[in-house]
Amino acid sequence: MSLLTPEVLAILLIDFIFLIFSLIAFFLSVKIVLKWDINATTPLQYSLEKQSYLIATIIKYILFLKIPLFIFFIFTMDKLSNVIPGAMCAAGVVNATSYGFPLLILKIINLYLFGFWLILHKFDMQSPDYPFTKTKFLFFIFIFFSLSAEIVLEFLMFEGIDPAKIVSCCGTLFSAAKTSGISSLMSLPHAPVIVLFYLSFLSIAVLYKIKNDILFAIANLWFLIISIFSLILFFSTYIYQLPTHHCPFCLLQKDYYYIGYFLYFFLFSGTFWGTAVMFSHFFLKKRISLWYNFSLIFDTLYVITISLYPIVFYIKNGVWL
Amino acid sequence: MIEFKGVTKIFNQKTANETVALKDISFSVKNGECVLLKGPSGSGKSTILSLIAALSKPTFGEVIVDNERVSKLPDNFAALFRREHIGFIFQKFNLIPTLTVSENIAIPLLPSNLSKKEIEERVKKVMREFSIEHKEKMEVKNLSGGEQQRVAIARALVNDPDIVLADEPTANLDEKLSENFLEFLKKIKKEGKTIIVSTHDPIFFENPLFDKTLEILRGKLL
Amino acid sequence: MFNVLLFEYSINSLKRRGVKNLFVLIIFSLLIFILSSIFFISASLREELISTVDALPDIIVSKIKAGRQYDIETDRSEEILQIPGVEDTIPRVWGYYYYQKAGVNFSVVGLKEFENNYKKEFDKIAQDIDFTELREKPSMIVGAGVKRVLTANYYKEYFNFVKPNGDFQRVYIKGVFKGENEFETNDIIFLDEEIARKIFGMEEDKATDIVVKVANPAEVQTIAKKIRLLYPDTRVITKNDLKVSYQNIFDYKSGIFLALFVVAIFTFFMIVYDKISGLTSEEKKEIGILKAIGWRIEDILKEKFYEAFIISITAFLIGVTLSLAFVYIFDAPLIRDIFTGYSVLKPPFKIPFVFDFQTVALIFFTTVPVYIAACIIPSWKTATLEADEVIR
């Protein structure tokens, strides 16, 4: 591997730890899913109960480490752009291999999945008959495969980046000029996308009032997708004040006051709690209004912050880009 | 109310050291009753107390406390049950020798979400009740036997339990201190607590304090 | 979720088993100290070197034959000057002179009188020199390190260079030079270009390499390409190439250390696992008591986690702080030579202070999570001890 910078090594080291421990958790989970019987008073059941604590501890360890690690990962990708010719920001590095983009998406999905697992775990522990134990460990078995896929992709990506090969910078990646999947999306007209964005937020606000769990969750998922989309297509140009700069990574840099971190934090937090609402619906059969509130607050913060950019620009300059 | 229904406890089942500690025990204790659990050492008295406190689970049968099937509670609920309802005074006190008096007494309350101030108040109250406030900051290992006993009692009562269990409480005490202990029992009985004392010390036998006596020999109730 | 009281209990608990925990703390701090020092030094030196690179020429053209560098024809610089976008071309005469007796290499740089030298600093030196004097009585200005070596070998006023044909070239020592960047200029000898040619046995119409100045930095790559097409027998290196290769060297060296460190950290993992697993009967009894009076498994796990957290963060802070002092106050004796080379002529320079949050994050991720991972299984085993058996 020609790209063995210390940062990459650190990430792979932690990946290795995750792999080993999640493997342990995996085997224990399989055991539990097969043999768990809360009503049994056998030594086997008692030892399974003890082991379920080990799995929960391992999962908490992984999740709480994954969050700062993800930020570090983004930092590292940004730093790598200095050694890879052509890349000016993380976007170039992510696209240096075919693994980069799916890896990024998978990382975000896994953060959500781990979060959901912890919620399920919390519910499970709330009543003495541990009603969701089998379900939650079955869920973990699924998560294990997703996590393993992420680690494999990560290794493949770092292995495959060739510092001698020139990559495209975000300017070309996100322009309508080239012929790629992203580019065809770039040539969509802005107005309908913006309308969809605000409409989706409106639907969240309305569903908040009505308190329909399933629809609220779906609305949040849709909101996540349309937000990222509208961010790349439209809003980012106002952050950079350049009609051709669409990159979703550059806004993490110092030049833009690290606004990207805030925006993504709001967006991911809001949509996480919004989708979590579905869990309380199915498993607890009750509504947790606190999550509704979290979701709405963070979603609103995102919408306000992102909208400020074009609005302020218009006020200052009198025209749109 | 405490109920034992057909409880059997076997240790080290299916090994060479298999021991049957209790054999098909059934009894009940009403709220506020003071019960004497009488029998020679090794007869199973400590096991009964352990089962009431949900510290261990029966091999067969059920233990029910206040309509809660305590024998079926998984660990975190069992511990919570103990924290809220049980005050256990151990035979060997089981204090943490390198901690101070107030620290030892506070331990049961630490994981709960009480504020520091609340815990301090409760600890002070119970220290005053048992006259060990003046030794608050002293390490427990430097206390006399009687003082340690008072700390053990204080710790058992700091969470205001409705059931107090005492396992051979006078085994390591002289006559005077044993009498003090009886005084203490009288006091908490007045407060309406359910009390179970397991002992083979004769000063407890025929004492009017006790509403009921359960005699146990080799794991069976007589 | 965060319980202050349990946290205090953890601190207390750590103190009560002082010896064992102190042992782990010291070893961990030491490991972090070494790792941090390596990373801090490399980050600083990299910054220093990158700022040096900025002052380097945009493009350097050297002639390559059979994979080795040869003298390049000076009239090529005229042709290169014709390429649009090229501001200036300067043929340079310089090289290394190996002084066998002392076993050191001097960097010999030939200066021109009227034309500009590729570095402003050199221009300044050139201005101060009277070249006519230098030609009549060949003289040179040397860096402090050179002066030291020459004096040590009894060359006080002049030095005899051995030319390729075996003859001597006596050059008088006019003065000692102290540059802005000590690291660079310590082993340099400046003299007139013609004398340099004589010492290296280089012909009049040849030079060591040609330096190209480009007006617009965005055009450097294109011009470099054109030069390569123009002269296929040359190696054309741009400033950016240098930057990248410096970064890679540092990453490579840091990478090696990190690899070694990873080995060390796994050993450490084993030690920690073992230490924390081994509970004395007193410790087991304590856990039993806690559970008997109402602590749940989660509570014990939380308390154990606080203990692990306290030790690892404390070790981290100690290691990083000591390392900062070691590197930036005491200039990191011993370790820094690994990066800067062991050459006798390297001056005692001060490592510039560079505090990079990412470096600290890097140190954190390679250490603290490993420690906490080592504590997971032992803590769980402790928390799931049967209280009943322990307190009888």
C288 or C355, which is more confident: C288
Q: What is the DSSP string of C169-228?
A: EEEEEEEEE--S-HHHHTTEEEEEHHHHHHHHT--TTEESEEEEEESSGGGHHHHHHHHH
Each residue of A127-136: pLDDT tens digit? 888 999 999 9
Nearest to B75 among A39, A41, A49 (CB): A49
B101 or C257, which is more confident: B101
Best of C380, C381, C388 to substitute, by most chain A Cβ atoms within 10 angstroms, is C380
Chain B positions in Cβ-Cβ contact with residue A39 (cut-off 8 Å): 72
Would you call A83 and C366 a contact, using CB atoms and an 8 Å cutoff? no
d(CA A116, CA C369): 23
Instruction: Tell me which chains share at least 3 CB pairs under 8 Å with chain B.
Output: A, C
Minimum CA–CA partner of B9 in chain A? A41
Question: What share of chain C has pLDDT > 90, as a percent?
Answer: 18
- CATH architecture, domain defined by B31-57+74-221: 3-Layer(aba) Sandwich (3.40)
* C42 pLDDT more than 70: yes
* C64 pLDDT more than 80: yes
Pair C196, C61 in one domain = yes
Pair C229, C257 in one domain = no
Pair C271, C312 in one domain = yes
Whether A62 contacts A22, CB under 8 Å: yes
d(CA A252, CA A70): 13
d(CA B63, CA B44): 15
Identify the band that residue C341 occupies on the pLDDT scale cut at 50, 70 and 90.
low
pLDDT reported for residue A287? 83
Would you call C292 and B88 a contact, using CB atoms and an 8 Å cutoff? yes
Minimum CA–CA partner of B80 in chain A? A128
Residue after which a domain boundary falls, among C188, C220, C238: C238
A1 or C166, which is more confident: C166
CA–CA min distance C368, chain A (Å): 10
Nearest to A125 among B58, B59, B76 (CB): B76
Strand positions, DSSP E, chain B? 2-11, 19-29, 34-38, 60-65, 68-69, 86-89, 163-167, 194-199, 212-217, 220-221
Nearest to A41 among B57, B75, B76 (CB): B57
Nearest to C298 among B76, B98, B110 (CB): B76
Three-class secondary structure of residue B25 per DSSP: strand
Pair C176, C232 in one domain = yes
Mean pLDDT of C143-164: 86
Nearest to A14 among C365, C380, C384 (CB): C365
Pair C9, C150 in one domain = no
Nearest to A128 among B13, B57, B73 (CB): B73
C15 or B43, which is more confident: C15
Each residue of C169-185: pLDDT tens digit? 888 888 787 665 555 56
Mean pLDDT of C242-266: 75
In this complex, is the C-beta atom of C369 within 8 Å of any C-beta atom belonging to chain A?
yes
Residue after which a domain boundary falls, among C220, C238, C256: C238
Chain B positions in Cβ-Cβ contact with residue C6 (cut-off 8 Å): 110-111
Whether C379 contacts C371, CB under 8 Å: no
Q: What is the DSSP string of A181-205?
A: HHHHHHTS-HHHHHHHHHHHHHHHH
Would you call B74 and A130 a contact, using CB atoms and an 8 Å cutoff? yes
Structure tokens of C47? 């910054």
Would you call C295 and B111 a contact, using CB atoms and an 8 Å cutoff? yes
Average pLDDT over chain B reads: 89
Structure tokens of C101? 């007796």
Would you call B111 and C4 a contact, using CB atoms and an 8 Å cutoff? no
Would you call A11 and C251 a contact, using CB atoms and an 8 Å cutoff? no
Structure tokens of C230? 């123009």
Pair C143, C203 in one domain = yes
Pair C317, C337 in one domain = yes
Identify the band that residue A168 occupies on the pLDDT scale cut at 50, 70 and 90.
confident
pLDDT reported for residue B75? 86
CA angle B50, B53, B57 (to 5 degrees): 60
Residue C331, domain extent: 4-52+245-390
Q: For tokens 């790629």, what's the residue?
A: A180
Identify which of B192, B194, B193, B198 has the alpha carbon closest to the alpha carbon of residue B214: B198
Minimum CA–CA partner of B79 in chain A? A128
d(CA C350, CA C340): 12
Pair C194, C152 in one domain = yes
Would you call B155 and C392 a contact, using CB atoms and an 8 Å cutoff? no
Nearest to A49 among B58, B59, B74 (CB): B74
d(CA A104, CA A106): 5
Each residue of A237-294: pLDDT tens digit? 899 888 888 888 888 888 888 899 999 999 999 999 999 998 888 887 888 889 999 9
Structure tokens of A242? 């350049």
Nearest to C369 among A4, A14, A163 (CB): A14
Domain boundaries, chain B: 31-57+74-221
Longest dimension (CA), chain B: 52
pLDDT reported for residue C350? 65
Give the length of chain C: 392
Chain C positions in Cβ-Cβ contact with residue B55 (cut-off 8 Å): 291-292, 387-388
Would you call A58 and C365 a contact, using CB atoms and an 8 Å cutoff? no
Helix axis angle, C239-277 to C220-230, nearest 10°: 110
Nearest to A6 among C297, C362, C383 (CB): C362
Three-class secondary structure of residue C44 per DSSP: helix
CA distances from C105 to C145, C146, C193, C343 (A): 11, 9, 19, 9
Would you call C4 and B107 a contact, using CB atoms and an 8 Å cutoff? no
Best of A37, A39, A41 to substitute, by most chain B Cβ atoms within 10 angstroms, is A41
Sign of CA dihedral B113, B115, B120, B126: negative
pLDDT reported for residue C182? 56
CA distances from A3 to A6, A9, A98, A164 (A): 9, 9, 16, 11
In this complex, is the C-beta atom of A130 within 8 Å of any C-beta atom belonging to chain B?
yes
In this complex, is the C-beta atom of A36 within 8 Å of any C-beta atom belonging to chain B?
no
Structure tokens of A278? 């579905």
Minimum CA–CA partner of B115 in chain C? C5
Give the length of chain A: 321
* C114 pLDDT more than 70: no
Best of C238, C258, C300 to substitute, by most chain A Cβ atoms within 10 angstroms, is C258
Best of A24, A45, A53 to substitute, by most chain C Cβ atoms within 10 angstroms, is A53
d(CA C146, CA A283): 79
A108 or A190, which is more confident: A108
Residue type, A203: S
Secondary structure letter of residue A235 according to DSSP: I
Residue C173, H or E segment: strand C168-177
Name every residue whose Cβ is closer than 8 Å to that of residue A68 and which is 6 or more positions away in sequence: none
Chain B positions in Cβ-Cβ contact with residue A128 (cut-off 8 Å): 72-74, 77
pLDDT reported for residue B56? 86
Task: Output the pTM of the full model.
Answer: 0.82
Residue type, B60: F
In this complex, is the C-beta atom of A125 within 8 Å of any C-beta atom belonging to chain B?
yes
Nearest to A83 among C244, C297, C362 (CB): C244
Identify which of B196, B202, B1 has the alpha carbon closest to the alpha carbon of residue B88: B196
Whether A306 contacts A231, CB under 8 Å: yes
d(CA C113, CA C382): 80
In this complex, is the C-beta atom of A206 within 8 Å of any C-beta atom belonging to chain C?
no
Would you call B88 and C293 a contact, using CB atoms and an 8 Å cutoff? yes
The count of domains in chain C is 2
Whether B21 contacts B7, CB under 8 Å: no
Would you call C262 and A13 a contact, using CB atoms and an 8 Å cutoff? yes
Backbone angles phi, psi at B165, to 5 degrees: -115, 130
Sign of CA dihedral B170, B174, B177, B178: positive
pLDDT reported for residue A196? 93
Identify the band that residue C116 occupies on the pLDDT scale cut at 50, 70 and 90.
low
Minimum CA–CA partner of C288 in chain B? B94
Chain C positions in Cβ-Cβ contact with residue A85 (cut-off 8 Å): 244
Burial C248-273 (b: 16+ CB within 10 A, else e): bebbebbbebbeebbeebeebbeebb
CA–CA min distance B134, chain C (Å): 22
Residue contacts between A and B (CB atoms, under 8 Å): 17
Backbone angles phi, psi at C348, to 5 degrees: -80, 85
Question: What share of chain C has pLDDT > 70, as a percent?
Answer: 86
Residue type, C37: S
